[in-house]
Amino acid sequence: MPRGEPVRQLHDGFVPGRFAIDAYGRGGFRFADMSHRGAILALPSGVHRWPVEAGAGLTAADFALVLAEKTAIDTLLVGTGEAPRMLTEDIRWLLRDAGIGFDVMATGAAARTYNIMLGENRRVAAALLPVD
């Protein structure tokens, strides 16, 4: 994110609508003419604050909002920070059982891939951990 830009939190942790990720880095993301520090879920319903810590391990419970929208998602892109980190087996099976394909990659690659797939009007979602 550009230096000097004010960082505003998502209103009640949610912005409705599908938005491209305009920028990432410095611990947050820019989209929809606003900035947010921390992790986000870009889902068909909108962009949600994702209350997970970048250094902590992800759990199945962290994907509850994704599962709630499973009928509108074919592919979930998971950005795990600076480098790709495998999801645990229980999370992989949770997503498979829900019929959601997924790909795990560094956050930058996930954000760029999300933007391309969103531009192609595909049924994509992203779970993105911030990077510095």
Provide the H-helix boundaries in the chain. 64-68, 89-97, 107-119
- The pLDDT value given to residue 116: 98
- Let me know: does 9 contact 39? Beta carbons within 8 Å: no
- The pLDDT value given to residue 8: 43
Helix (H) or strand (E) holding 126: strand 124-128
**pTM score of the predicted model:** 0.89
Q: How far apart are CA 95 and CA 36, in angstroms?
A: 26
Per-10-residue mean pLDDT, the chain, length 132 = 47 84 96 92 96 83 97 98 94 98 98 98 98 93
- The pLDDT value given to residue 20: 97
Q: Quick one: which of 22, 53, 15 has its CA closest to 130?
A: 53
- The pLDDT value given to residue 121: 97
Q: How far apart are CA 104 and CA 8, in angstroms?
A: 28
